Structure 1
Amino acid sequence: MYSDAMSTNASERLIEATRELLWERGYVGTSPKAIQQAAGAGQGSMYHHFDGKPDLALAAIRRTADELRAAAERVLGGKGSAYERIEAYLLRERDVLRGCPVGRLTMDPDVIASAELRVPVDETLGWLRRRLAGVVQEGLDSGEFTGPLSAEELASTVVATVQGGYVLARASGSPAAFDTAVSGLLALLAPRTAR
């Protein structure tokens, strides 16, 4: 029983260390040795739980993707109008200068070259677009949003604003660029009565 708990603990530490290192350094910069050091785990422990770096990275990416979806769902599935829920999603607390832990992986050539590692990234961004499109469609159906809007196009615009806002903020070294992008989008989306 003791060894099972230690084994699970080592597996968790390895996944969490890999998540942080992928976010900070990307796939190429995340070596097995760096993972083991960050996790306080030995090489034997790593290869006991995972088939290698790609297997461990996949577990870490999946966990990060699951957490991103859960955080988005908390606000998108919450109370309020369509606009209020989209606003809550756009304004929720983020580490803007670090960027999106899933979105950043799209810039990692090794992740994109690997169909297996790319799948949870693509699935998560696809889920987010579909979930946002559902909220936008609610707003269109209720008359909250008007005009020739496509729910899918607007959802993609929201995702692109967030991901692009991260890029602008990181390039400038200031979250102000992200905040400006979000403010601009919210002004465009604001229901007519709020303008």
Structure 2
Amino acid sequence: MSTPDRLIEATRELLWERGYVGTSPRAIQQRAEAGQGSMYHHFAGKPALALAAIRRTAEELRTAAEATLGGGGSAYDRLSAYLLREREVLRGCPVGRLTMDPDIIADDTLRAPVDETIGWLRGRLAGIVEEGQKRGEFAAGLDPEEIASTVLATVQGGYVLARAAGSPAAFDAGVRGLLALLAPDSPGSSAP
């Protein structure tokens, strides 16, 4: 792995573990096994390195989400695959956790890839709900944007509940509950 890649990967991990303030240049250098000169040769400073790390994290999340959402099967099957995919539940979402970091949220440049990724995911989920409506899987009266927001809220809220309980059981319960509500044979979700 190249020095810039090691620096970005180290920053990604530290942002996930410690947040922006807790991610010092020295900690990044130590984790990446890179010197101060290397860090500042490749990046203008901590904000530029953090932006590269956030962008890579966002890209990775999009790729993982698209791998399940873009798969075959019904709209319900794809939503189910997304909700049930393998996650490090007790670590939380690497992008979602950035929304709780006041330093990232206060910085328009650092927040932009987070906003874009969440917006992309909401749009992608809404599009799948619309496909399901056209195929008669979901009731025509459902609002795809609201269902997409509910899916995102279930995932992000599930992370919070699981971390608070120290167990992925709360995450799993939320996912099962949402899938039961969305199931084509549940009252109110399937088209008449």
Same fold judged by TM-score > 0.5?
Answer: yes
Of residues 6, 14, 18, the one that matches 1:13 is 6
Of residues 126, 150, 159, the one that matches 2:152 is 159
C-alpha deviations, 1:16-60, integer Å up to 9, x for none? 000000111111110000000000000000000001000000000
SS of equivalent residue, structure 1 residue 192: coil
Q: Residue in 2 aligned with 1:139?
A: 132
SS of equivalent residue, structure 2 residue 59: helix
The one-letter code of the counterpart of 2:119 is: G
The one-letter code of the counterpart of 1:120 is: P
Q: TM-score, with normalisation over the residues of structure 1?
A: 0.94
Residue 23 (structure 2) pairs with residue 30 (structure 1) = yes
Residue 129 (structure 2) pairs with residue 98 (structure 1) = no
- Runs (4 or more) in structure 1 with deviation over 2 Å come to none
The one-letter code of the counterpart of 2:81 is: A
User: In 1, are the aligned partners of 2:99 and 2:114 still within 8 Å (CA)?
Assistant: yes
Q: Residue in 2 aligned with 1:86?
A: 79
Tell me the distance in 1 between the aligned counterparts of 2:186 and 2:114. Answer: 37
Which runs of 5 or more residues in structure 1 are unaligned? Answer: 1-7
Residue 119 (structure 2) pairs with residue 126 (structure 1) = yes
Count of residues paired in the alignment: 188
Q: Residue in 2 aligned with 1:61?
A: 54
Tell me which protein shows more helix as a share of its residues: 1
Identity of paired residues, percent?
Answer: 76
Tell me the distance in 1 between the aligned counterparts of 2:46 and 2:106. Answer: 15
Of residues 178, 182, 187, the one that matches 2:180 is 187
The one-letter code of the counterpart of 1:26 is: G
Of residues 66, 69, 76, the one that matches 1:76 is 69
SS of equivalent residue, structure 1 residue 191: coil
Tell me the distance in 2 between the aligned counterparts of 1:118 and 1:193. Answer: 38
